[in-house]
Structure 1
Amino acid sequence: SFPASVRLPVPASSSPPLTLNLQEVMLGYSDSNKDSGFLSSNWEIHKAQKSLQKIAEGYGVNLRIFHGRGGSVGRGGGPAYEAILAQPGHSINGRIKITEQGEVLASKYSLLDLALYHMETITTAVIQASLLRTGFDDIEPWNEIMEELAARSRQHYRALIYEQPDFIDFFHQVTPIEEISQLQISSRPARRPSGKKDLSSLRAIPWVFSWTQTRFLLPSWYGVGTALQEFLNEEPEEHLKLLRYFYIKWPFFKMVISKAEMTLAKVDMQMAQHYVQELSKPEDKERFVKVFEQIASEFNLTRDLVLKITNHNKLLDGDPILQRSVQLRNGTIVPLGFIQVSLLKRLRQSMNTTATSGVIHSRYSKGELLRGALLTINGIAAGMRNTG
């Protein structure tokens, strides 16, 4: 049997015969990641695709899934080849549709050779996923373990984002979220029209964008380490062997760990700490340092366990070219981070709304300071190759 569903009367289609009996369903990645964290979001979307495919097969309908991915890992982005191979069962079946964000167009399509290579990569992955399925998604004990990991990760993520009493103030003070809201780069405002400055009204793009700027990249890894560690605590040796086996044999698990590894390589906790130290109000600094320490502890745990599962000595040892690219870009962004913090500090002092510690007098106007801050935001986004 297939999941409970409702057959709706649909008028006869006027589409060409080749498109008859084809149903397209779009999947969004952004809000689920923001609400429940990286690991839980990926697993729930994975399960949703299996359910959709089962319903389509039950009604004899051809299914095409439209993946509404963002450019960043926190919004479903990442290497296309691994992402396609990680799709469940027969959900590909020779058909796929993917959004390409404006921020990644230049890196994929600006040169003819680049564009051809990218299209060949996607085509190869679709063929492999359609014809060479291994059936790993139907091994129930594996699914049960993944369900457990996702639940633990979601619980730890939400404990920070929604239950830590200082987190919302921390987010608004130590990230450039308010300044990002003034960037004219989006088709929609940063917040939904509720009038509140809470996380529920904040859209996913500026949420991810803010964490990318400060080098935390929190939405793309937080909660993964705790979930893995709690699982390993039950039977350390056996469960480590099992996770390493998953990484080698299960495309979905390999995709999740590989994305986390790539994101962790882009994190710079020293720079993130600089944002916390310089942009916190004096009366809030002690509270915010504790929040930072909680985040840094999870980062260290996640990094160590990813290295243990992949058997790498350093992050991205399995992809030396990407490793070197990330290292080079990380180095060029550091000066922009220091400049951004200085400009944000001056700007907020001049506006007397989110005044931060220290006294900095500036001969520049608010408009000039804001323009400078926005330029650094653009520069860091270019260096990180991600906005939101």
Structure 2
Amino acid sequence: MQELTQTQAIDIVGRFEAGQEIPEEMRGDVRMLGSLLGRVLRESGSEGLFEDVERLRTATIQAYTDETPEAFAKAAGIADSFTVERADEVARAFTCYFHLVNLVEEHQRVRILRERDARPERQDAADSVAAAFTHLSGEVGEETALQRLQSLRFHPVFTAHPTEARRRAISTSIRRLATLLEEHDGAVRSGAQARRTQRRMLEEIDTLWRTAPLRSEKPSPTDEVRAVMAVFDDTLFTAVPHVYRRVDDALQGAASGGRPPVVRPFVRLGSWVGGDRDGNPFVTASVTRKAAGIASEHVLLGLERAALRIGRGLTLDAATTPPSDALVALWQRLKDADEDAAKEIATRSPDEPHRRIVLLLARKIAATRTRNADLAYRDPEHLLSDLRVVQDSLAAAGAPRQAYGHLQQLIWQVESFGFHLAELEVRQHSAVHRAVLAEVEAGGALSDQAEEVLELFRVIAFLQERYGPRAAGRYVVSFTQSADDLATVHRLARAAVGPAGTVPVLDVVPLFETFADLRAAPGILAEIVEHEEFRTRLDATGRRLEVMLGYSDSSKDVGPVAANLALYEAQAEIAAWADREGIELTLFHGRGGALGRGGGPANSAILAQPPHSVDGRFKLTEQGEVIFARYGDPAIAIRHIDQVAAATLMASAPSNEQRNSEAAARYADVAEAMDAASRERFFALVKADGFASWFARVTPMEEIGLLALGSRPARRGLSVESLEDLRAIPWVFAWTQARINLAGWFGLGTALEAVGDEDRLRAAYREWPLLRTLVDNVGMSLAKTDARIARQYLDLGDRDDLAQLVLDELELTRSWVIRVTGGEQLLDGKPVLQRAVKMRSPYVDALSLIQLRALRALRAAETPDPEQQRLLLLSVSGVAAGLQNTG
């Protein structure tokens, strides 16, 4: 093909971008940041870089739009023609572009949310907690609906699973750009201010370009703890009480903030960061202790600052707002304990009793943080008691706005976060426990592993004593395969502290991960509750029990279709068993960010759960890029929490439970046929001779292990001859990088073909929430695949049989998803997502072509070339940014 003229190239790019139906404000942001990046490439890149980036960009857009082999070959030829040094720069340029586009999309989401909130009647009310409460009231009555609202619980658990491909320095730079983009919105009417803001953006984009995109070393577990703390400091500490306030505003109207709130705090944070040691030798008992200390430092500092701010504003005179007797008594106690400070505060606030008290409470919070035993609070309940004395005194004195305004938000923060911030959960593999218990019972010298495991139980006891029992009480057992796997934890806890020690209070949580374990789960639970320690703990907690379900390993085990059906069946059986036993069940969903690991919209997934499996409580893991995408911006975090909590409340509505129950029964034969057919198809691929080594060759799976994503190793063992030792994250990540996304869809086409009745399948899609969620998620996964690119990866493997099997299933699945959903192309019912995928795809193609040239070179070489290896890793980071998920 002939080289395009500049005019032709501009025309191709312009027509492509014009066809994306981007909102005008968003289009303006993309153009502005894109032009600033172009200027940076001209000024800071090597000679000709900008022109080469534009050549490849134009070629991939042309190949994407006309889909001819000649156009694709031309784009691939351009990528192959670059020197390694130039390909390195081009990959970095496209990666920077994706960071900017991601930022613009997030900014547009925030813009839309703010516009909705500014309207008298918010357009997003249909899936808010307030709307869910109104709907539920209509079904079960207001009293019952209020009881359910006040027992609502949403429990996200942050993990350090290595799925965030970008460096923290890159994330920080992007956050600074986000602030500048906000300022630019406010400066559009002032030409001088807009120019100043753009100049600062140019400086920041230049910094982004010059910042090394890859980490030089893996982060330590403590680094991972501090990264999560940034989300708490910047967003969650203030966002969570704002969610409660929004609900109370909607339910109480103008009276909100002037009388006791209807809503009770329903968010609880959990964390595996610094506690998850399954397969991670770097998470030690010492790390767990440090993680809890760092989290406590952050939350206590936040509470101290909030109390100081509130105290300084409570300038209510005693004449207009007289103190209650309880407040006077509290002042006396605080003055006796902190005499000098009380005297100084009283001098500055002589007739402001409420102000004096709250300022002294801030000092007590500070003393708790610095471990000043004379002043420190013993636990958050004592702080709450003091705050409520102040609140009650204000209300009794006729100042309800001060009682239930900012002071109420501080109370909500203490109730939600305590002195520990997030409930630190421990996770360990059942095989480790069995090995350590065998050593302990043998009575000889203990190995380092055994000493470490026993020390952990002593650390848990210490954390509970220092920060309260909520700080660290859940112990998750990976690969639970018997009741003994759970009982072993209690036996080890007793052995660790000895006869005279304090045994930590533990809720031992089974994690059922494989297909076989999910099926065995009800029997294991029925057995374990007969064990003495479990019976005792059930009695102490009002018969509360938590059970964790693994989405990742079950999907890698039997494929995404059979895994989803097995998870539904396991939940239904466990929920029915718990109901019979009078147990308050909480199912803990081990969902990843990627669709192959249970990812996708959480609210639709919640509404598709079996009857009684939610009951107003939803707990799930949040990890990697998902944490920052959902909780990194305050407006988005508030919206996300509101949506998921609303779905959690709505899941137990009689109409929703009836719909799920009746649909599951009506389409049981469909589920059975899909399960059998999809598993057979999946096994035909993954159980084929030589599959594991072929998979490692046709994807960058081995090279992904070189990325310094997280402290946790990518594999449990050293070999790729068996998939059992490969973690689910690199399994999903590798298929995503190869633009195949196999972990998210493989087997669904065969499953639907086995049913065959298109009309019945369309009816099932309309009526059966589980199938609708599964098909919609597969549609999203397929939209990010590219058969042309995928074929290039599959050709690396010299196994035409396996390559054809994948491509045939891809085409079959795509065809059936479009037919079942009734559209003409993928994502027809999701125009915003469809637009985002189409807008990104040709640019991701450019990075994929660079990755392919590096991968071919590495596969052909006897020893890895460090330059090609670096180029491959740069492209991996860029593709992850472009597709916006990894594992």
- TM-score bracket for the superposition, by shorter chain length: 0.7 to 0.9
Residue type at the aligned position of 1:123: A
Paired AA for residue 853 in structure 2? S
Q: Equivalent pairs: percent with the same residue? A: 40
Residue pair 2:717, 2:726 contacting (<8 A) in 1 also: no
- Pick the aligned partner of 2:871 from 372, 375, 378: 372
Q: Which amino acid aligns with 2:674?
A: L
The CA deviation at 1:249 is 1.2
Query: How is 1:321-340 mapped onto 2 (pairs within 5 angstroms)?
Result: 321-340=832-851
Aligned counterpart, 1:231: 755
Distance 1:108 1:155, change over 3 A: same
CA RMSD after TM alignment: 2.1
* Residue equivalent to 2:703: 179
Preserved contact between residue 673 and residue 754 of structure 2 (Cα < 8 Å):
no
CA distance in 2, matches of 1:377, 1:90: 42
TM-score normalized with structure 2 length: 0.39
- Say whether residues 1:72 and 2:590 are aligned partners: no
Among 760, 779, 787, which residue is 1:269 paired with?
Answer: 787
Structure 1 residues 268-307: aligned runs within 5 Å: 268-277=786-795, 279-280=796-797, 284=798, 288-307=799-818
Tell whether 2:541 aligns with 1:42. no
1:25 shift after superposition: 0.8
- Whole-angstrom CA distance in 1 between matches of 2:853 and 2:610: 47
Asked if 2 retains the 8 angstrom alpha-carbon contact of 1:35 and 1:158, the reply is no
Aligned to 2:671: 146
Query: Which deviates further from its counterpart, 150-159 or 341-350?
Result: 341-350
Identify which range, 219-228 or 289-298, moves more after superposition: 289-298
Classify 1:135/1:319 alpha carbon distance in 2 versus 1 (closer, same or farther; 3 Å).
closer
Deviation at 1:350, TM superposition (A): 4.3
Deviations 1:278-328 (A, max 9, x none): x34xxx3xxx23322221111111111111111011100001001101111
Q: Which residue of 1 aligns with 2:437?
A: none
Deviations along 1:341-365, whole A, 9 cap, x unmatched?
A: 1122333444437xxxxxxxxxxxx
Q: Give, as a single letter, the amino acid of the residue that structure 2 aligns with 1:137.
A: S
- Work out the CA distance in 2 between the residues paired with 1:80 and 1:45: 15
Aligned residues: 359
SS of 2:532 mapped into structure 1: coil
> Counterpart in 2 of 1:362?
none
Equivalent position SS for 1:189: coil
Over 3 Å counting, the alpha-carbon distance change for 1:38 and 1:3 in structure 2 is closer
Asked if 1 retains the 8 angstrom alpha-carbon contact of 2:609 and 2:770, the reply is yes
Q: Which residue of 2 aligns with 1:258?
A: 776
- Could you tell me which residue of structure 1 aligns to residue 147 of structure 2? none
- Partners of 1:349 and 1:226 in 2: how far apart? 35
Tell me the residue number matched to 1:211.
735
Aligned residue for 2:546? 24
Q: Match for 2:883 among 370, 377, 384?
A: 384
Query: How far is 1:374 from its partner?
Result: 1.2
- Structure 1 CA distance for aligned equivalents of residues 835 and 850 of structure 2: 24
Task: State the AA in 2 paired with 1:372.
Answer: L
Residue deviations 1:222-278, cap 9 Å, x none? Answer: 11111111211xxxxxx222211111111111101101111111110101112233x
Task: For 1:196 and 1:111, locate their aligned partners in 2 and report how far apart those are by CA, in whole Å.
Answer: 39
Structure 2 residue 222 is the aligned partner of structure 1 residue 222: no
Gap change, CA 1:349 and 1:300, over 3 Å in 2? closer
Deviation larger for 35-44 or 240-249: 240-249
Q: CA contact under 8 A between 1:225 and 1:302: conserved in structure 2? A: yes
Name the SS of the counterpart of 1:276 in structure 2: helix
SS in 2 for 1:25: strand
Alignment of 1:322-361 (within 5 A): 322-352=833-863
Match of 1:60 in 2: 582
Distance in 2, matches of 1:14 and 1:31, equals 29
The Cα shift of 1:379 comes to 1.1
**Amino acid of the residue matched to residue 763 of structure 2?**
Y
Q: Whose helix proportion is higher, 1 or 2?
A: 2
Task: Confirm or deny: 8 A CA contact 2:783 2:827 kept in the other structure.
Answer: yes
Contact 1:271 / 1:337 at 8 angstroms: preserved in 2?
yes
Equivalent-residue separation in structure 2 for 1:230 and 1:246 (angstroms)? 15
**How far does the alpha carbon of each residue in 1:184-212 deviate from its partner, in whole angstroms, 9 at most, with x for none?**
21343222226453222211111111000
2 CA distance for matches of 1:257 and 1:14? Answer: 38
Tell me which structure has the larger Cα radius of gyration. Answer: 2
After the TM superposition, list the runs of 4 or more consecutive aligned residues in structure 1 that deviate by more than 6 angstroms: none
State how far apart, in whole Å, the 1-side matches of 2:538 and 2:701 are. Answer: 46
Separation of aligned partners in 1, 2:816 and 2:856: 36
What is aligned with 2:313? none
Shift of 1:43: 0.4
Is the alpha carbon distance of 1:3 and 1:341 closer, same or farther for their aligned partners in structure 2, counting shifts above 3 Å?
A: closer
Any stretches of 5+ residues in structure 2 without a counterpart?
A: 1-520
User: Which of 650, 658, 661 is the aligned partner of 1:134?
Assistant: 658
Alpha-carbon distance change, 246 to 206 in structure 1, aligned in 2, over 3 angstroms: same
Is the CA contact 2:738–2:790 (under 8 Å) kept in the aligned structure 1? yes
Q: CA deviation at 1:329?
A: 2.1
Aligned 8 A contact 1:104 1:385 in 2: no
Match of 2:651, SS state, is helix
- Cα distance change, pair 295–195 in 1 and its aligned pair in 2 (3 A): closer
Q: Amino acid of the residue matched to residue 387 of structure 1?
A: T
Structure 2 CA distance for aligned equivalents of residues 195 and 111 of structure 1: 40
Distance 1:195 1:175, change over 3 A: closer
1:33, 1:219 within 8 Å by CA — same for their partners in 2? yes
In 2, Cα distance between equivalents of 1:335 and 1:20: 57
What CA distance in whole angstroms lies between the structure 2 residues aligned with 1:330 and 1:167? 29
Paired with 1:194 and 1:127, the residues of 2 have a C-alpha distance of 45
Q: Give the CA deviation at 1:56.
A: 0.9
Residue 586 of structure 2: SS of its match in structure 1? strand
Which structure 1 segments of 5+ residues have no match?
Answer: 233-238, 354-365
CA distance in 1, matches of 2:859, 2:600: 34
Whole-Å separation in 1 of the counterparts to 2:549 and 2:801: 36
Does structure 1 retain, via aligned residues, the 8 Å contact 2:745–2:813? yes
The Cα shift of 1:110 comes to 1.9
**Aligned-partner Cα distance in 2 for 1:14–1:55:** 15
2:633 is the counterpart of 1:90: no
Q: Which of 102, 118, 122 is 2:640 aligned to?
A: 118
Higher alpha-carbon deviation: 342-351 or 6-15: 6-15
How many Å apart are 1:105 and its aligned residue? 2.0
> Partner of 2:710: helix, strand, or coil?
coil
The question of whether the paired residues in 2 share the 8 Å contact of 1:166 and 1:291 is answered with no
Question: What are the Cα deviations for residues 106-134 of structure 1, in whole angstroms up to 9, with x where unaligned?
Answer: 22122111111111110121111112422
Cα distance in 2 for residues equivalent to 1:352 and 1:187 = 26
Give 2:686's aligned residue.
Answer: 161
* 1:100 match: secondary structure: strand
**Does the residue aligned with 1:96 lie in a helix, a strand or coil?**
strand
Tell me if the contact between 2:703 and 2:873 (Cα under 8 Å) persists in the aligned partners.
yes
For residue 319 of structure 1, what is the aligned residue in structure 2?
830
User: 2:722 — aligned with what?
Assistant: 198
Match of 2:425 in 1: none
* TM-score, normalization by structure 1: 0.87
8 A contact 2:538–2:544 mirrored in 1:
no
Question: Which of 613, 620, 623 is 1:101 aligned to?
Answer: 623
Q: Distance in 1 between matches of 2:557 and 2:743?
A: 10
Deviation at 1:166, TM superposition (A): 4.8
| Structure 2 contact 855–872 (Cα < 8 Å) conserved | yes
Separation in structure 2 between the aligned mates of residue 189 and residue 172 of structure 1, nearest angstrom: 17
